[in-house]
Structure 1
């Protein structure tokens, strides 16, 4: 049914049912890369089970390619194949042409003209600018809208406990607090540590000593060291850590996820500053604590808003490269492109003033 807004957990659970009814139009919105990807993976799996043999992924900006939506939704398969089309809009700003294309897509969904295809629009969290846009209103009126939850630093221990329970493990509050501190409130980093604990230890209660041993038994190079070096403007140190992480086999999505977390925080604070608010008053709300909060604020003073916007698209392009899709104007190697992103974030020559 059009206009549904299911709970995130309910959405994923329902898609796991073999008889789930798939809809022609979905919107997945949120800033947590892990949760957004989990929702998208659940939709992909449900589509595969119901014979959606083709998947098309389009990365869209204000400059296009918006005509590809109509081309893909109007093409008729000679063999009756079903298609999942993923529309990624990293900045949440489609521009006029894109906005008109999305309104047209919503109208076609309302007229039940989208047959043998499911379209999913993947957006960052809908702020006031996005949610008041004509295209967003049109699309969400005729789509299943899934807003991924915001897990604050205070909520993270309970979230970690819930994820541990999925693998039949649990920990006491002190251990959960220790993990939360070590991952600096980052959901993707917490997810990686939880998976590691599931591989290293049997079901049951995890002691603080076991968790410390697993989490501290990490590579010589640490992804949080890289983040701090970037935010200090120490590009050479950040590159050294990045190359070390690559050499030691660290997963690129984990590294990219942490940088994306920093970029999203920078973008949120930069928007607040443009709207006349003091960014320092928002750091706690974003789960930023010393020394990370001051590092983020210093970077905010160092990088202009336009450059922060560019970082969002750059990170998204690296994600596409990792998944095997080309990205215009980027190198073909995702790790090499990651190095370019690191240097852009650590740039000390720019100024936001």
Structure 2
């Protein structure tokens, strides 16, 4: 059988197979899935864990020997095999086919691989595992799915929140699953079980982190708040924040605005475009305000100015006032202040 990683916990609560293959592009989900299988195996009496990592000199005969040899420490065991390269080779496919054909009742085999292409997923050994064992697909979590994923993680820590809050956190971590997991863990430690996380609390918690303060800066300039934009930028500079971090946040936002502007000019509905581009309702008014202040070609032209700022930060180009003043000019331009668009 084949299941997504999100259904693994439900599957393990009902049964424990003798063969699991975890694969996919989300390393975090693969690691968490393997943890779940180990816990389930332990609960079912498979107390001994034997681990292998497959390199170029790995002998697959070891798997055959291990699965057929009685353990001195436990009557049941879990054999875990990591395949970092994602390639089994002839010896590996033969060994897995042998195990599938004659599974050992006192052994659970867990194979961990990365992303597998369509050709591999159409291979004989892969199909055999799908028939006799369990394939666990660690599928990527899309930006649109991430808020719900964050909500589930928070609920697991007994923390309640609204979709807008989880959407804002998804925006802060720019869709990075590992970063989202780490932030949820931090929030659980700070808030404790039974807490209710609202938007104000989230922003207060992340306000001290430069990585998240740059998003506050971006929101300020999108809204057209000149005073706040200058204040936040100055604070980041005084705290020793790398100018390249500010530039990265601006480049990320401008790219998004270019895409949004293009889609709106094509006649698509604003609601559809915002949803596809990951603009949640709490940020919708900010983006709408920025779009109203500037014509579509403004955002395209701004990319050239961002490139100049990048060159200035790297020391390859001199600009009037230096890189930080150039970043301020870009922010003010986004705010709608036109007369400060200095030439370098």
TM-score normalised over the length of structure 2: 0.56
The match for 1:182 is: 172
TM-superposed deviation, 1:62: 5.1
Structure 1 residues without counterparts, runs of 5 or longer: 225-284, 288-293, 295-353
The question of whether the paired residues in 2 share the 8 Å contact of 1:55 and 1:84 is answered with: yes
The match for 1:310 is: none
Aligned positions of 1:219-298 closer than 5 A: none
The match for 1:84 is: 78
2:90 pairs with 1:96: yes
The question of whether the paired residues in 2 share the 8 Å contact of 1:92 and 1:130 is answered with: no
TM-superposed deviation, 1:55: 0.4
Q: Would you say how many aligned residue pairs link Structure 1 and Structure 2?
A: 215
What's the CA shift string for 1:41-66, capped at 9, x where partnerless?
Answer: 11111111222221011111454232
The match for 1:44 is: 38
**Which has the larger displacement, 174-183 or 46-55?**
174-183
Q: Compared with structure 1, are the counterparts of its residues 200 and 92 closer, same or farther at alpha carbon in structure 2 (3 Å cutoff)?
A: same
The match for 2:51 is: 57
SS in structure 2 opposite 1:163? helix
What's the CA shift string for 1:15-67, capped at 9, x where partnerless?
Answer: 2x4xx542221111222122112221111111112222210111114542322
**Which has the larger displacement, 167-176 or 116-125?**
167-176
The match for 1:32 is: 26
2:5 pairs with 1:8: yes
The match for 2:186 is: 196
TM-superposed deviation, 1:78: 4.9
Q: Identify the match of residue 117 of structure 1 among 66, 88, 107.
A: 107
2:136 pairs with 1:136: no
- Inter-partner Cα distance in structure 2 for 1:21 and 1:162: 23
TM-superposed deviation, 1:104: 2.1
Structure 2 residues without counterparts, runs of 5 or longer: 215-275, 279-302, 304-344
Task: Compare CA radii of gyration and give the structure with the larger one.
Answer: 2
2:62 pairs with 1:72: no
Q: Compared with structure 1, are the counterparts of its residues 94 and 62 closer, same or farther at alpha carbon in structure 2 (3 Å cutoff)?
A: farther
The question of whether the paired residues in 1 share the 8 Å contact of 2:47 and 2:74 is answered with: no
CA RMSD in angstroms, aligned pairs only: 2.8
- Inter-partner Cα distance in structure 2 for 1:9 and 1:31: 14
- Inter-partner Cα distance in structure 2 for 1:135 and 1:14: 23
2:206 pairs with 1:212: no
- Inter-partner Cα distance in structure 2 for 1:101 and 1:207: 52
TM-score normalised over the length of structure 1: 0.54
